[in-house]
Amino acid sequence: LRSLLCVASEHSVWIALAGSLRLREMRSLVNAGVRPNCWGVRGDVCDQRDRTGQMDLRKVTAWRRAIGSPAN
């Protein structure tokens, strides 16, 4: 993944990473040097991980803090 991200960056290509990601997995990937332009986190930020349910502001905030995204 790191190699793919490097090549994409060299060619100004934006990369998103998704697929049932959880916060702990994202942290492991970041620790391994994997930092895509975008994280797909749909289920992990929903109440009880139910994608048809409500988003949980606490979970969204935890993700934003973990990736270093400023609050708007």
Reported as a single tens digit per residue, the pLDDT across 16-69 is 999 889 999 999 999 998 999 999 988 899 988 888 889 999 999 999 999 886
Q: Which of 46, 54, 2, 57 is nearest to 21 (CA)?
A: 46
| Of 70 and 60, more confident | 60
Helix (H) or strand (E) holding 42: none
* Helices and strands per DSSP (H, E), number in the chain: 3, 2
Residue 72: pLDDT band (50, 70, 90) is: low
Answer yes or no: pTM beyond 0.85.
no
Q: Which of 35, 42, 45, 44 is nearest to 67 (CA)?
A: 35
Domain ranges of the chain: 2-67
pLDDT in tens, 48-62: 888 888 999 999 999
The whole-number pLDDT of residue 19 equals: 86
